Amino acid sequence: MIYAALKLVHLLALIVWIGGMAFVLFFLRPAVLALEPPLRLRLMHDVLGRFFKAVLIAAVILLASGLWMIGRVAKESVQAGLGFNMPLSWTIMTVLGIVMIAIFGYIRFVLYKRLTLAVTASNWAAGGAAMASIRTWVGINLAIGLVIIAVTQLLA
C-alpha cells in the first residue's frame, strides 16, 4: 500500500513537471510571441516564477519518493534473503532524474535570476537573452524527461 501511494505521488509530480514544460514550450511561448517585449517578458517572468515553485516541490517529491521506493524494494529483497540488483531502467531513471534536477537548479537559480534582474531593470534585450537560455534548457530537460518515460516503459 505504501509503495503504491509513493508511486502515485511520484507519477503526479512527474506529470506536473513534464506537463508544465510541454505547456510552456509548445503552447504558452508561441501565444505570447505576439506581445510586445515588455509585456511578454513580464508575463513569462510571472508564469515561470509560479511554475518553478511547483517544480521545486515536484523535484523534491520525485527524489524523495524515488529513493524511498528503491530503498524499500532493496530492504525487502535483503530481508527475504535475496540479493538486490537495481533494474537498469531504475538506474537510468535515477541518474537522468538527478541530471534533470541539476539542470532545473541552473534554470531556476541562475537563468531565472538573470530574467528577474532584467525585468526589474526594464532591460528587455537582457530579458530576451535570459528567456532564450531558459527555453533551451527547459527543452533539454523536457527531452531528458521523455527519455526517462520511454526507458521506464520499454525496459519495464
Mean pLDDT by 10 residues, the chain (156 residues): 94 98 98 97 98 98 97 93 92 98 98 98 98 98 98 90
Which residues lie closer than 8 Å to 122 by C-beta, 6 or more apart?
38
Nearest to 11 by CA among 80, 58, 43: 58
Amino acid 1: pLDDT: 86
Sequence letter at residue 6: L
CA angle 65, 68, 71 (to 5 degrees): 150
Distance of CA 144 to the CA centre of its chain: 9
Gyration radius (Cα) of the chain, Å: 18
> DSSP secondary-structure letter at 86?
-
- Give the pLDDT score at 83: 87
pTM above 0.75, yes or no: yes
- Domain boundary assignment for the chain: 2-154
pLDDT of residue 116: 98
